Amino acid sequence: MSAQPISMRKLKELLRLKFEAGLSQRQISSALHLSLGVVNKYVTAAQAAGILWPLPEELSESQLKRKLFPAESPRSEPVYAPPDFAVIHQELKRKGVTRRLLWEEYAEANPNNHYQYAQFCVHYHQWRARLKLSMRQTHRAGEKMFVDYAGQTVPIINASTGEIYQAQIFVAVLGASNYTYVEATRSQQLHDWIGSHVRAFEFFGGVPQLIVPDNLKSGVLRADRYEPTLNRSYQEMLEHYSTAALPARPKKPKDKSKVENAVLLIERWILARLRHQRFFSLADLNRAIKQLMEGLNSRSFKKLPGTRRSQYEALDLPALMPLPATAYQFALWKQLSVAPDYHVEVDGHYYSVPHSLVTRKVDIRITGATIECFHQNQRVASHARAAEGRGGHTTIAEHMPSHHRAQSEWNPGRFLSWAVGIGPSTRDFVRQMLESRQHPELAYRSCFGLLSLAKRFTPERLEAACQRALILGTLRQRSVRTILEHGLDSQPLPESETDAADTLPVHENVRGAAYYQ
């Protein structure tokens, strides 16, 4: 079975919305901006392959593709008889005439080359969209929550400094009942935007199937009529609550007319009443907003029976999905390149990832407590978020190349233990070399040099060379190497420091008498 190719991320989102969120194929089609036929084919393929949600962690993207679409021989696309949508559109205006009835008549007239009912409806909707007709929206209970910010802001005064900033007013309204939630936040940035959603869900006591936001940058990275791109942190929050976002189309205010009207009402019913008050904190402002919001939701409709609260209790509340057992934890996502030292930098601190990912792009999930690294949607590293200042490193040994790992396991105590095994002069040489540096780590390279000399020369010769270097007062690995390479370790030692001072200095360019023997 073939299907229009879609991205793996969108395919996984399709499966999540179907098998976890419980959306219909039509709702998924709207949320992901896919044709209904494509959604039906992928859902059918998943059910036939026995794939449910959540996907097994060990299932790779390539394995998922093979399970959904096993290899099949190519076949030519059938040619269908085109329906006369102009006639169909007029017939639908008649009382009792439905799309199902008209499709059955079309199928009887074209028994061998007709569209199936789902494709028939898709093509009709596409044809009707070109007419630019304005249709009155019908909101089902528990289906949609519309969200936006009011155009007006409220000044907050810092009592200590007199500094003033403008608080932003977040508005959320349920489609069926018009039950409204309002709160003030410091900004419209991502953490405030997502936090307002979380508090709105808690206020409503449940989660709607769809969220209809405006194309605010905090939530929608790329506004598009057909395939808007959501911020990944916003998408993760939606997944936590098993819901989905259906952003309003650019320059289509009718898509969010429900919240547009709510914002206008909030500005008149709440903000206008607060215009003469002064607020010194967000908490004070939100307490005032809460009182007026309760009055608004309890106010009787002019043309409909009841109030927003009574309609909410009768319609939306029973239909909302339950809140998850655990509260959502805000996470920020970034995409970073892995540096040559197999670390990525977050807020001035460096965290390791497997060295095989050097120069590649990884996705970083940042919370208040953890730093998680993902490559191709697979988690490759997890670290506790460092509390120390800039410039620090958090490194997991398994992320290092083998030769780096071997070096990282050494410390001053281990170097001295090794030196004791060679002899007392080697021990003293290593200890003095470590103590001579401001930081012992600066002497590690010289110590590793001694380790390499131990592989080329016997312990007795290395011990004698270190003894001579100590008498000569040189604490350089290069001096020990020169003594060994020129055989000076076998020469008689100076009897005193004066004699040592009278001898030529140890240097790789000074051959010595042994060179000519």
**pLDDT category of residue 501 using cuts at 50, 70 and 90:** very low
In this structure, the answer to whether residues 483 and 507 fall within a common structural domain is yes
Q: 254, 134 in Cβ contact below 8 A?
A: yes
Per-residue pLDDT, 136: 44
186 & 281 share domain: yes
Give the phi and the psi of residue 87 in degrees, each rounded to 5.
Answer: -70, -40
Q: What is the C-alpha to C-alpha distance for residues 249 and 221, in angstroms, rounded to an integer?
A: 13
Give domain status of residue 135, yes or no. no
**Alpha helices, H only, 179-312:** 190-204, 232-240, 257-266, 282-297, 308-311
Are residues 399 and 427 both part of a single domain? no
Residue 112, token pair as written in the block: 């061998």
Q: pLDDT for 266-289, tens place per residue? A: 888 888 888 889 999 999 999 999
Torsion of CA 500, 504, 506, 511, to 10 degrees: -140
Per-residue pLDDT band at 168 (split at 50, 70, 90)? very high
Whether residues 356 and 260 share a domain: the answer is: no
Same domain as 370, residue 314: no
DSSP annotation of 226 reads S
pLDDT of residue 266: 86
Give 95's DSSP letter: T
Euclidean distance between CA atoms 298 and 454, whole angstroms = 87
**Residue with structure tokens 């991320």?**
9
Do residues 206 and 313 both lie within one domain?
yes
Query: Looking at the structure, do residues 49 and 152 belong to the same domain, yes or no?
Result: no
Lowest-confidence range among 10-24, 191-205, 492-506?
492-506
Answer left, alpha or beta for residue 278, where phi above 0 means left and psi between -120 and 50 means alpha: beta
Contacts for 168 with CB less than 8 Å, ≥ 6 apart: 149, 150, 153, 184, 185, 186, 187, 188, 192
Give me the mean pLDDT over the 119-133 stretch. 77
Please give the model's pTM, rounded to 2 decimal places: 0.52
Comparing 85-89, 230-234, 415-419, the range with the smallest average pLDDT is 85-89
* Distance, CA of 302 to CA of 130 (rounded, Å): 36
Residue 447 included in any domain: yes
Residues 178 and 257 in one domain: yes
Predicted confidence band of residue 409 (pLDDT cuts 50, 70, 90) = low
Mean pLDDT, the chain, rounded, equals: 81
Identify whether the C-beta of residue 434 lies closer than 8 Å to the C-beta of residue 452: no
* Residue 205: predicted pLDDT: 94
pLDDT of residue 92: 72
234 & 360 share domain: no
Determine the Cα–Cα distance for residues 286 and 276; give it in Å rounded to an integer: 16
CA-to-CA dists, residue 460 to 4, 465, 484, angstroms: 75, 9, 11
**Span 260-269, pLDDT tens digits:** 777 888 888 8
Query: Residue 258's CB: how many other CB atoms inside 10 A?
Result: 21
- Residues 299-339: tens digit of each pLDDT: 888 766 788 999 899 888 998 999 999 888 888 888 888 88
Whether residue 78 lies inside any domain: the answer is: no
Per-residue model confidence as pLDDT tens digits over 172-193: 999 888 899 999 999 988 889 9
Residue 343 pairs with which residues in a beta bridge? 352
* Residue 428, in any domain of the structure: yes
Residue after which a domain boundary falls, among 380, 405, 430: 405
Helix H or strand E segment including 455:
helix 444-456
How much is the pLDDT for 474? 86
**Helix (H) / strand (E) containing 170:** strand 164-174
Q: Name the 3-class secondary structure at 53.
A: coil
326 falls within a domain: no
158/287 same-domain check: yes
Q: Answer yes or no: is 76 within a domain.
A: no
Answer whether 294's CB lies under 8 Å from 216's CB: no
Retrieve residue 256's tokens.
Answer: 């969010």
**Domain assignment present for 12:** yes
Tens-place pLDDT, residues 336-393: 888 877 888 888 888 889 988 888 899 988 887 888 899 988 898 888 888 766 667 7
In single-letter form, the type of residue at position 149 comes to Y
Contact by Cβ (8 Å): 370, 385 = yes
Q: Do 191 and 218 share a domain, yes or no?
A: yes
User: Which of residues 39, 68, 97 is at a domain's end?
Assistant: 68
The mean per-residue pLDDT over the stretch 156-162 comes to: 87
Q: Which residue has the higher pLDDT, 372 or 4?
A: 372
Check pLDDT > 80 for residue 407: no
- What is residue 345's three-state secondary structure? strand
Provide the domain limits for residue 100.
85-129
CA 418 to chain centre: 46
Choosing from 290, 319, 348, the residue where a domain stops is: 319
Q: Are residues 172 and 246 in the same domain?
A: yes
Total domain count for the chain?
5
pLDDT at 428: 92
Indicate the pLDDT class of residue 73, thresholds 50, 70 and 90.
very low
The reported pLDDT for the residue numbered 202 is 94
For residue 253, what pLDDT is reported? 55
Mean pLDDT value of segment 217-225: 56
- Per-residue pLDDT at 422 exceeds 50: yes
Q: Residue 132 — very low, low, confident or very high, per pLDDT cuts 50/70/90? A: very low
Would residue 34 count as lying in a domain? yes
